[in-house]
Structure formats: C-alpha cells, structure tokens
Amino acid sequence: MAFMQVDPVLFAKALADETRQEIMRQLCCVWLNVNDLVERLDGRVNQPTVSHHLKKLEEAGLVAVRQEGRYRYYSLNQEFLTVCCGALVTNFAPDYRTNVIPVDAINVGRIDRGFDG
C-alpha cells in the first residue's frame, strides 16, 4: 500500500453524505463498476451522481480504482479508512489513543486478497 496522507477534514467531508456512505457499504470487500453501483442503489441516484461521489471518495483516498477494459472497478480502501479513524482518535481523543492498535503494527503478514476478493 502506497503512503497516503490523512487529511481529517477531507476524510470527514467524504463521509458526510448518506448516498456516499451507501456507496461505501456497497464497495466494502468487493469490486464493482459504476453501473453495478447504479443498479445496487436502485434508482435513488443515477450514473453521473455516482461518478461524482466516486470521484470524491477517490480524492479522499477511500477507494481503490482499477481499469479493466472499458469498465472501471472500485473498491473500498478499508485499510486507509482504518488509518483515518485512528488519526481522528489520536487527534481528538488522546485519552483513548492507546485503545486503537496502529494499522502498521498489524500489517505484517497480511493477506492481500486482490481483485475479486
């Protein structure tokens, strides 16, 4: 995993929308392309809106992207999300910072599932 800087405001803004959180739930543990997502959101929003949200999530470092022919697959970056949450606790809840195990401490030997889990 490439080094990624945590920006607490950017992170929070990325999460601060119901639709985006729904997209994140859908992208958790799986790779989906844009139309997959549009279908799963079942008429609530349409394609340009999904693309818009994916861009925001990508800018925040919260999704990984993989181009496969004319399809673009997205998946939630769970590790970075965990790092961001840890940074929030470190920044804003120092009394509790010891309750979060830093990600890099548990990364050793981690299995990377890659495409399609």
Query: Using CA atoms, how far apart are residues 47 and 78, in angstroms rounded to an integer?
Result: 24
> Is 27 among the residues that bind DNA (CB under 7 A)?
no
81 binds, among its own copies, DNA, none (CB under 5 to 8 A by kind): its own copies
CB of 117 to DNA, least distance (A): 18
Q: Which of 1, 29, 30, 65 binds its own copies (CB under 8 A)?
A: 29
Query: Using CA atoms, how far apart are residues 101 and 61, in angstroms rounded to an integer?
Result: 21
CB of 96 to DNA, least distance (A): 25
78 binds, among DNA, its own copies, none (CB under 5 to 8 A by kind): its own copies
b/e for 93-105, b at 16 or more Cβ within 10 A? eeeeeeebeebee
